[in-house]
Amino acid sequence: KNQVEQSPQSLIILEGKNCTLQCNYTVSPFSNLRWYKQDTGRGPVSLTIMTFSENTKSNGRYTATLDADTKQSSLHITASQLSDSASYICVVSAGLVRDDKIIFGKGTRLHILP
């Protein structure tokens, strides 16, 4: 069964600290993996998208890694800011053809404290 599991479920860190969010997937065939940020009361916004051949991609203070062999991805946030408080959702695409084969994780809720 195609699944995307994220950990931790929630995380609280102090402003300025770094953190890493995890995503494990059992999706086949694998096409690409994305990370989205969802602010409270808003729709998700894309941070990164990685294909099978890419193992690192950065977007400002956000760096995503992908290990296609172990089917794991991580999202590292450097020097966190209050505006990073949000849910982070890992999304895996199971193929390029069918648009319904996109599996969303449940998200990690990140709280940044001043």
Partner 1 sequence: NAGVTQTPKFQVLKTGQSMTLQCAQDMNHNSMYWYRQDPGMGLRLIYYSASEGTTDKGEVPNGYNVSRLNKREFSLRLESAAPSQTSVYFCASSPQGASREKLFFGSGTQLSVL
Q: Name the minimum Å distance from CB 67 to partner 1.
A: 21
Smallest separation, CB 55 to partner 1 (Å): 19
| Side-chain half-sphere CA neighbours of 83 within 13 A | 2
> What single-letter DSSP state applies at residue 42?
S
Q: How far apart are CA 78 and CA 76, in angstroms?
A: 6
19 or 90: whose CB is closer to partner 1? 90
Cis? peptide before 44, omega within 30° of 0: no
3-state SS, residue 106 = coil
User: Can you give the binding site for partner 1, defined by CB under 8 A?
Assistant: 4, 31-32, 34, 41-46, 49, 89, 93-107
Of 69 and 99, the one with the shorter C-beta distance to partner 1 is: 99
Which residue's CB is nearer to partner 1, number 27 or number 112?
A: 27
